[in-house]
Each structure stands twice: as C-alpha cells, then as structure tokens.
Structure 1
Amino acid sequence: MKRLCKVYLIIFLLGLACPVVKADGNSSENEKLLQQAEKLLNNYKDSEALLLYEQIIATSADNYEALCKASFLHSRIGDRYTDETQKSKHFAIAREYAQKAYDLNPKDAESNYVMALSIGCQAMISGPKDKLAGINQVKTFLDAALASNSHHAGAWHILGRWYFKMANLNFAEKAASKFMFGGVCEEATNTDAANAIENAIKYSPENIRYYYDLACVYEEMKDDSACIATLEKAINLNLQTKEELEISRRCKLLLHQKKKI
C-alpha cells in the first residue's frame, strides 16, 4: 500500500512539473522572438517585426510587450495607406491589441500610449462626431502615460498634436466640442502644442517627424525664426527610411518658402 501511494505521489508530482517545463520552454522561445523582433524594428523592418510579435501573441495571448509593439506597428503601418479600407483594418487591430495590453497593465506608460495612438488613428478616419469623441478620449490616456513615464517621447508628440488640433478647431467643431465635452478645446493653445513637441524632441532627438510637426506649429503661430531654426535642425538629421526622406523633402520645401518671405 505504501509502495502504491509512493507511485501515485511520483505521478502527481510529474503531472505538476510537466506544465512548468512547457511554460518555461515557451517563455524562452518568446524571449528569443522578442529579441529578433526588436532588432527588426530597430532596423526599420516593420512588417517583419510585426509578424514575429503576432507569432508570439498566437501562442501567448497575454504577452504584454508583444501586444504593445504589435498595436504600435499596426497603427504606424496603417497610417501609410491611402486606402481607407486598409487604414481602418490596421487601426481596428491596433485598437484590439492596445485594449488587451491596457487590460493587463492599465497604469503602465506603454499600454496607455498605444491606446492613445490607436484611438487617435481611428478618430482621424471617422465621421465628425466620432472624430471629436476619439480626440477627446485620447487626452486621458496620454495623461496616464506621462504620469507613468514623463520621458515618453511618443506620448509627448501625440499630446502636442492633440493640443494643436484642439487649438485650431473650426467654428462648428468648437461648438460641438463645447456641447459634448464641456469646452475642453478652449484650454488648448498652440504654445501648449509647441512645448509638448519640444519635449518629444528632447527625449527622442533623431525623429524627424517631431521636428516637422513642431515647425508646422511655429508656422501657425507666425514664429518664422523658430520655424526656420527647427527645419534647419531637421534636414541635418541622419535619415534611414523612405518615409523619413519624404518628411525631409517637406521640411526643405517649407524652409525654402520661409526663407523667401
């Protein structure tokens, strides 16, 4: 009887041990895939990186890092399309992944950032009412992201764009915003937008998009000297992608226009 009990005890312990070994192996494989994906992302191979992040999600649906990165990449890739259907498809997946990441870790900067990014992207292709609702909702997630990590360049950049959008609503949009959200747009200024994007540049000084957006804010503010200085910094950056080269082309065109004035 004692011998039989001993056999059952060994079987029971082996049964407990097997899942642990499997989980550890899966975790180890995911770590390798995360490293490979990060390397691809750093080398501007977004589609290849996304495939790896989604491979991880397929086997580990609660992998927080993969969910955040996949959401970010769907937003970025979707933004490149001119076709509204393709945009909408990528933005919807971005929002789904962001929501899952947020549910796992609602206080972390990254989950709040990808929530803000995905909601903002969806808002830009929505009708007027949904657009305003989305833009208003973005601010809550940006505040949470920056409360968690005040050095988050991406969150500062979106916040700058949020201030700029809200500060420059047309009459109808301002009236709708005031009616729906209590006039939150009245608190936003172009100076707020410039300050936020300057912080984005401070924490990520090689991102040419930040410089271009900041120059556009200064142009709206009619601050030509600040606009020109920002554009001159932008065109001297070390660029890697076609997207960056296109932004650089816009910077040069705007700089040429400003110097002719």
Structure 2
Amino acid sequence: MRILFKAIPILFIMLGSLVCPLDALGDSGHDVLLKKAYELKEQYKETEALAVYEQIIAADESNFEALCQASVLHSLMGNRFTDDTRKIDHFSTAKAYAQRAYMLDSVNAQSNYAMALSLASLAMVSGPKQRLSLISEIKSYLDGTLAADPNHADAWHMLGRWYFKMANLNFAEITAYKVMLGGLAQKSATNKDAIYAMEMAILHNPNNLRYYFDLANIYQEMKNKEACVYTLQRAMAQNLDLQTKEELELSRRCKMMLQAYQR
C-alpha cells in the first residue's frame, strides 16, 4: 500500500525570473501577470509561475486566483524534495495560502481543493497521530470541491486515494481514529469506493497517467490481476505525449508492472 502514496522525486531546474514590475503594468497588472503565470505553468515552468503568483500576492493579499494557484504549486513542488525540512516549508506555505483563499470563498472548488491538497501533503511528513488528524479533515474539502465542480478530476483522484487509505487502516490507526472522532461517525470507506473515485478521475481526464497507475496499484493490493492488467493496458493505449520526467517515470513503472504480469 505504501507505493501508492510515495512521491516520485523529480529534478527541478531553477531558471531566472521573467516577472515584470507590477507597478509598470498599471491597473491591468494583475490580469497580465495571472495570464503570464498560467502560460508559464502550462510550459511546465512551475518555479517561474510560482514567482509570478507570489508577486501578485505581495501586491494584493486578497487575490483569490493567485492564492489558490500558489498553494497548489507549493504542494506539488514540496513533493519533489527528499528532505522533510524543505517539504514542510513548502507544505506549510501551501496551507497558509489555501486558508487565506478559503476565507475569501469557502464554496469555491479551487480553494477547497487547495486546502485538501495542502493537508494531504502535510500528512505525508507528519507523525502518526497528526497524520490521522489531517487525513480526517481532507474529506470535507474534497466534498466541497466536488460539490462546486463535479468534473474536478484531481479531486476525484485524491478522493480515491483517501478512500483507499481509510479502507486499509491498520488496527492501531482504526483505534486512534475512533478515539479522535469519538467513534467512527463517518461512513466506512471501501476499496470499491476508491475504485469508483479513480474511475471518475479517469473519466474527466483520461490523459493523466497517475490516475491509471494509482488505480492499478489498488487492484494489485486487492490481488485482482485481471483488473490491474486491464487498467495498465488502458494507460498504455492512450499513447500520450509525455512531457515531464514524472510522466516518463510513471510510464516506465506502468510498463514494468504490465510486463511482470505478462511473463
């Protein structure tokens, strides 16, 4: 089960900032910079995109879009470091930005997803008790995301991971969770719930290899060889134009898993 939640390290290239002074852009400065940040993110220049979003936040503490995007980028970038200190720095900043965005609009899909992602990220570098506490908070934000945007593929994916984690708690975790909640008040999660959520993620974005890989791992944990192979075959059939080292690594792992079953 641990393989499903293990972050894949990525080499990240630090490039110079392309940010223009905000004052020089006049009243439309925020819109210009938001567009610039979006373009940089689409080009996989996430460090530069984050710098732009944080420049906007420095000038406008209540810029909702910049807060949400900066939060998500800090969560994603924190996963790429191997030492917990740097991870925690990024994840804590991600949570702080997400909380500010959530206070501005608590029913928006972006702010709810940013909160869920930041909590999930912090959970990975927390002790057992705090990890369970953070995990217990995630579900409400995922529900908020999907209530606002039922087609949010990343939220469905995270919900699938949440269901899988909750469905496979060990005895000590179950006991601690019951104590925290005063009894398991929430509906028990199942692997079937996890599979459904993962399939919804794939439905809304069939081009994300991570969704297939995580679904295949769920089937592998369930000893369902046929479903695992079928999921991996679906992933390979997409013939995706892989752009990042993470995507290339995921493709390699999918192929290795599939080959192991076909021997």
Common fold: TM-score over 0.5: yes
Question: Which residue in the other structure is 2:221 paired with?
Answer: 220
Partner-residue secondary structure (3-state), 2:79: helix
1:245 aligns with 2:261: no
- Counterpart CA distance in 1 for 2:28 and 2:224 is 53
**Residue 163 (structure 1) aligns with:** 163
The CA deviation at 1:254 is 1.2
* TM-score scaled by length of structure 1: 0.87
* Alignment-derived partner of residue 8 in structure 1: none
Could you say what secondary structure the match of 1:130 adopts?
Answer: helix
Q: In structure 2, what is the Cα distance between the partners aligned to 1:157 and 1:196?
A: 6
Change (3 A) 1:121 1:72: same
Q: Segments of 4+ in structure 1 off by > 3 A?
A: none
Other-structure match for 1:120? 120
2:15 alignment partner in structure 1 = none
Farther off after superposition, 242-251 or 128-137: 242-251
Name the structure 2 match of 1:18: none
Partner of 1:254: 257
User: Structure 1: which amino acid aligns with 2:30?
Assistant: N
For residues 174-212 of structure 1, give each alpha carbon's deviation from its aligned partner in whole angstroms, at most 9, with x where no partner exists.
111122122257610111001101111111111111111
8 A Cα contact 1:119 1:134, kept in partner? yes
Q: CA deviation at 1:234?
A: 2.1
Match of 2:200 in 1: 199
Task: Supply the distance in 2 between the matched residues of 1:177 and 1:184 (Cα, whole angstroms).
Answer: 10
Shift of residue 257, structure 1, vs aligned partner: 1.7
Q: Cα deviations across residues 12-31 of structure 1 (Å, max 9, x unaligned)?
A: xxxxxxxxxx99x6541111
CA distance in 1, matches of 2:180, 2:171: 14
Q: Flag the structure with higher helix content.
A: 1
Amino acid at match of 1:239: L
Residues 129, 32 of structure 1: CA spacing in aligned structure 2 closer, same or farther, 3 A cutoff? same
Structure 1 counterpart of 2:81: 81
Residue aligning to 2:109: 109
Question: Deviation digits for residues 115-141 of structure 1, max 9, x if unmatched?
Answer: 000011101110110000000000011
Q: Structure 2: state its 5+ residue gaps.
A: 1-21
Pairwise CA RMSD of aligned residues? 1.6
Structure 1 CA distance, aligned partners of 2:80 and 2:255?
21
Using the TM superposition, give the Cα deviation of residue 222 of structure 1 relative to its aligned residue in structure 2, in angstroms: 2.0
Structure 1 Cα separation of the partners of residues 33 and 152 of structure 2: 24
Secondary structure at 2:223 match in 1: coil
Give the distance between the partners of 1:188 and 1:218, measured in 2 at CA. 16
Flag the 1:185–1:80 CA change in 2: closer, same or farther, 3 A.
Answer: farther
Letter in 2 for 1:252: K
How far, CA to CA, are the matches of 1:151 and 1:172 in structure 2? 35
- Relative CO higher for 1 or 2, CA cutoff 8 Å, sep ≥ 6? 2
* 2:132 maps to 1:129: no
What residue in structure 2 maps to residue 174 of structure 1?
174
Aligned residue-pair number: 238
Question: What are the residue-to-residue correspondences of 1:26-105 with 2, within 5 Å?
Answer: 26-105=26-105
Q: Which region of structure 1 is more displaced relative to structure 2, 164-173 or 177-186?
A: 177-186
Provide structure 1 residue ranges, at least 5 long, that are not aligned to the other structure.
1-21
Distance (Å, rounded) in 2 between the aligned partners of 1:210 and 1:94: 23
8 Å CA contact 1:177–1:185 kept in 2: the answer is no
Q: CA deviation at 1:221?
A: 2.1
Name which one, 1 or 2, has greater alpha-carbon Rg: 1
